Amino acid sequence: MTRRVTIHDVAAAAGVSVATVSKAVNGRYGVSPETVSRVLDAVRALGYESSLVASSMRSRRTGVIGVLVADIEPFSAEILKGVGGALSGTGYDLLAYTGARRDGEGWERRSLSRLSGTLIDAAILVTPTVVNVAAEVPIVAIDPHTGRADLPTVESDSFTGAQQAVHHLVQLGHRRIGFIAGRPDLRSAVARASGYREALSAAGIPFDPALVGQGHYEQDVAREAAHAMLALPDPPTAVFAANDLSALSIVEVAAARGLRVPDDLSVVGFDDVPEAARAQPPLTTVRQPMKILGAEAVRMVLALLAGEELPETHLQLATRLVARGTTAPPPRR
């Protein structure tokens, strides 16, 4: 807990003004070589490192890309890995930010206005709660909000993904297939719901509203929904959950109710977060390329930063079913 070394300390040590130190450190013209080396010696001796905060107040560029997430959970963590990987070697630092107040709506607006223009050069919003945000920096949204966004977006093909999930269950012989929906304000959740219904109808299975629960992409909420659904007089033999966390909740609830998975109940998730494979039994799920979503968002943001025009402003990536241990033919009556 020592006092921070400021540019003033360096200036004093090198016997020059702070302005000269600034120039020397940032390699500006108009400083003699001797002065530069004297300043840099002082910098080294004192262990000086300019304050991100102070310098970002004055100069526009900071060399930092911000990723705003509501929460660090398996999905956003994968995105972060992808962003980090894509950023490495670009010279940009990565700053991931989670606001303490997760009071739903608009957390990213708050975080964004707190950081943007000053601290970060560009932002990547993960599962934002609003369609558009104003900021003085380039922004890309991953897994965006419903409504046509002005923002460039990156997402998976959730509609087809959901169809893959339901199709898989239908193939196994299931006819009563439940659905635990995701966050209704996200396009991905809406698309997964549509894909579910579409696949049902393609298989000639009538839609039963009793078999749809709200999971909000959240473990606890999904747990409630799963309990309700499995308590139905005519419960489903299979459930498709809009994300893996929800699917894992279902498996847990099923076990608590004495149902064996997959013998008594099949479960399919969505995402394929690393945790899905580790579950017992390993979760059958629809894989979306999370790291690539992150990497693509970086590509876009970097292009925007370079002043380029984006060839594609709304990227959609393919999903693929990964059959593991939570799906099997329905139990026979």
Partner DNA sequence: GTGAAAGCGCTAACAT
Partner DNA sequence: ATGTTAGCGCTTTCAC
Residue 295 tokens, joined: 């990497």
97 binds a second copy (CB under 8 A): yes
**Which of 26, 32, 37, 88 forms a contact with a second copy (CB under 8 A)?**
88
What lies within 8 Å, CB to CB, of 126 at 6+ separation is 67, 68, 69, 70, 76, 79, 141, 142, 143
Does position 35 interact with DNA (CB under 7 A)? The reply is yes
Q: Which is nearer to DNA, 21 or 122 (CB)?
A: 21
Please state the closest distance from residue 134 (CB atom) to a second copy, in A.
4
Please report where in the chains the tokens 């659905």 appear, as a residue: 179
The crossing angle, in degrees rounded to 10, of helices 244-256 and 219-230 is 50
In angstroms, what is the minimal distance from the CB of 135 to DNA?
Answer: 13
Return the residue of 148, 256, 278, 331 that touches a second copy, per CB under 8 A: 278
Contact 82, 109 (CB under 8 A): no
Rule CB under 8 A: which of 18-47 touch a second copy?
A: 47
Question: Per CB under 8 A, does 130 bind a second copy?
Answer: no
Burial of 325 per CB tally in 10 Å (0-12, 13-18, 19+): middle
* CB closer to a second copy out of 119 and 193: 119
5 binding a second copy? (CB under 8 A): yes
Q: If contact means CB under 5 to 8 A according to the sort of partner, which of DNA, a second copy, none does residue 25 touch?
A: DNA
Nearer to DNA, 4 or 101 (CB): 4
Contact between 231 and a second copy by CB under 8 A: the answer reads no
Q: Which does 58 bind (CB under 5 to 8 A by kind): DNA, a second copy, none?
A: DNA
CA–CA gap between residue 62 and residue 84 (Å, rounded): 17
Centroid of chain to Cα 125 = 8
Our finding on whether 112 is near DNA (CB under 7 A) is no
- DSSP string across 168-235: HHHHHT---EEEEE--TTBHHHHHHHHHHHHHHHHTTPPP-GGGEEE-TT-HHHHHHHHHHHHTSSS-
Find the part of the chain contacting a second copy (CB under 8 A) among 110-118, 173-181, 189-197, 251-259: 110-118
Q: Which two tokens stand for residue 253?
A: 């609830």
Give residues with Cβ within 8 angstroms of 115, minimum separation 6. Answer: 66, 68, 95, 97, 123
Q: Which of 28, 148 has the CB closer to DNA? A: 28
Question: What would the two tokens of residue 242 be?
Answer: 């809009």
Whether residue 282 contacts residue 298, with contact meaning beta carbons closer than 8 Å, is answered with no
What the block records as the tokens of 69 is 């997430």
- Closest of 123, 122, 141, 119 to residue 132, by C-alpha: 141
Nearer to DNA, 18 or 203 (CB): 18
- The distance of closest approach from Cβ of residue 189 to a second copy in the complex, given in angstroms and rounded to an integer, is 22
- 313 binds DNA per the rule CB under 7 A: no
The type of residue at 132 is N
Contact of residue 310 among DNA, a second copy, none (CB under 5-8 Å per partner type): none
x/- contact string, 113-142, with DNA (CB under 7 A)? -----x------------------------
**CB-wise, 111 or 163, nearer to a second copy?**
111
Q: Which amino acid is at 275?
A: E
Instruction: Determine, following the binding rule CB under 8 A, whether residue 3 of this chain makes contact with a second copy.
Output: yes
Which residues make up the interface to a second copy (CB under 8 A)? 1-5, 47-54, 56-57, 63, 71-74, 77, 80-81, 83-85, 87-100, 102, 109-111, 113-119, 134-138, 273-278, 282
Which residues make up the interface to DNA (CB under 7 A)? 4, 6-8, 15-23, 25-26, 28-32, 34-35, 48, 50-51, 54-55, 57-59, 118
